[in-house]
Amino acid sequence: MAAIDVEILKVRAVISAWATQQGIQPPTTTDNNLKTTSAFQDLGDKMRSGGDHAIVARELIQRIRLTRSAKLGIKDPGEEPVRPDGVRRAYIIGSIRHPAEVELLCRI
């Protein structure tokens, strides 16, 4: 059996990028304590407050597309699908918090 190319995608990175784009300072500590976790959960709630409860998953899907593209040597896939190349790949996403995000990821 062929090896699987595994990528781990962090929800915190998506939320942190969104916060920075909004002019909000995300937690910068690498500590994985209750205070940091709560701060990221609050930012995630704020990110979803615009009505798109699956926005974190949408951003993760885009990161998967870009990661797949880069592995295929495609600099900018635009709106085109990124076709599989036969390599087995797995994308591991940790810390999904909202049921709408899980639903979207399962549908895709």
Query: Would you list the domain boundaries of the chain?
Result: 5-107
Residue 71, pLDDT score: 92
- Please write the tens of the pLDDT for every residue from 53-102: 999 999 999 999 999 999 999 988 888 889 888 899 999 998 888 999 99
pLDDT grade for 31, boundaries at 50, 70 and 90: confident
Residue 30, pLDDT score: 75
Contact 1, 88 (CB under 8 A): no
Residue 1 above 70 pLDDT? no
Token duo for residue 42: 């609050």
Token duo for residue 43: 């930012």
C-alpha distances in Å from residue 93, one per residue of 7, 74, 101: 9, 23, 11
Q: What is the average pLDDT score of the chain?
A: 91
